[in-house]
Amino acid sequence: MKLLPKPLILLFIGLGYQSVAQKFTIPVFPDTQSEVGENHKMFSSRIKWVTDHKDSLNIPMVLHVGDLVNFDNYDHYEIASKGYEAFDAHHIPYAIALGNHDTEAVGFNSGSAAPGNVNQNLRKTQKFNSYFPVDRFSNQRGRYEADKSDNAYYTFKVGDTNWLVLSLEFCPRMGPINWAGDIINQFFNYNVIIITHYHLTPKGEIATSNAGYGDFSPQVVFDRLLKKYSNIRFMLSGHVMSSALKVDTGEKGNKIYQILQNYQNEDLGGGYIRLLTFDIDKKSVEASMYSPYYNKTKEDKSKFTIEGIDFIKQKEERSLKRPVVK
């Protein structure tokens, strides 16, 4: 058998690697509050599944859309924190958007509103930031407030695409909204994913209220932030049941894909994970809800494919020196 010249072998290997690298999966955890409170095995099943499939699915990062826990107590945070230790051990980066149940807006032993000013309590997140200090988020690059991940940003790279993940607090204050815009503008050549707890309604519409105790509504966030920047691609949220997709066009002509996922009132959540499977070359994302606990994929409106996505790709490097990604 005649062997190929070494340069060609290296070229084919490189092309094969590039093809594989252009495909990746981002697992998105919906509200896990009920599982953390009542079915720990269901909660841990999705974590184990992700760690088992880290390499085969080329998982760069795990995202959580909020309500990690149900009550504002240490027992729930102990369970959640212990579960996420598996991600730490397997070097799987993650980002968590804070839901209302991840704050002092709810009771110590109840999901109902805590006594006092519920809007002020919504911004008290000492337990979350104690169990999940900033140094636990390996891909975190910065935050709105010192030592608090309530509003923070993260980066990762897959193939010839760079990504910015930005977590935004529940019905945010105007300060974090403006800060988020500054960060997105700085990373103008990155594909942007925003995660927040509340955005779409169960009907797949952008919510116009502050949920009764937040600051600015999702509609204000859309008008003041999402539609302003050409590199925003995805907005992921939870809080309400169950699954929806809304596509809007930003002021710069870019498509903004807004995806809802939350099943907390259906069998405690059922252990479902939103799997977003990206194929950069095909300009597509396949979305589904899969439960490792039941080994089952939902066959309903939660399963869909988005095509024709205008991913921002990095220009081919002309030198051996690689640019520094901050």
Question: 190: closest CA among 231, 153, 233?
Answer: 231
* Residue 243 and residue 260 in contact, taking contact as beta carbons nearer than 8 Å: yes
* Residue 67 and residue 238 in contact, taking contact as beta carbons nearer than 8 Å: yes
What distance in Å separates the CA atoms of residue 246 and residue 206, rounded to the nearest whole number? 8
The residue extents of the domains of the chain are 24-294
- Distance, C-alpha 194 to centroid of its chain: 7
Task: Look at residue 26 in the predicted model and tell me its pLDDT.
Answer: 98
What distance in Å separates the CA atoms of residue 77 and residue 68, rounded to the nearest whole number? 8
Separation in Å, CA 276 to CA 57, 135, 288, 320: 11, 26, 7, 33
Per-residue pLDDT band for 316 (boundaries 50, 70, 90) equals low
* Element at 237 (helix H, strand E): strand 232-237
Residue-wise pLDDT tens digits, 88-113: 999 999 999 999 999 999 999 999 99
Instruction: Name the percent of the chain lying above pLDDT 70.
Output: 90
Topology of domain 24-294, per CATH?
Purple Acid Phosphatase; chain A, domain 2 (3.60.21)
Task: Look at residue 34 in the predicted model and tell me its pLDDT.
Answer: 95
* Residue 33 and residue 68 in contact, taking contact as beta carbons nearer than 8 Å: yes
| Phi, psi at 43, each rounded to 5° | -65, -45
Residue-wise pLDDT tens digits, 126-179: 999 999 999 999 999 999 999 999 999 999 999 999 999 999 999 999 999 999
More confident residue, 324 or 240: 240
* Residue 63 and residue 95 in contact, taking contact as beta carbons nearer than 8 Å: yes
Residue-wise pLDDT tens digits, 196-228: 999 999 999 999 999 999 999 999 999 999 999
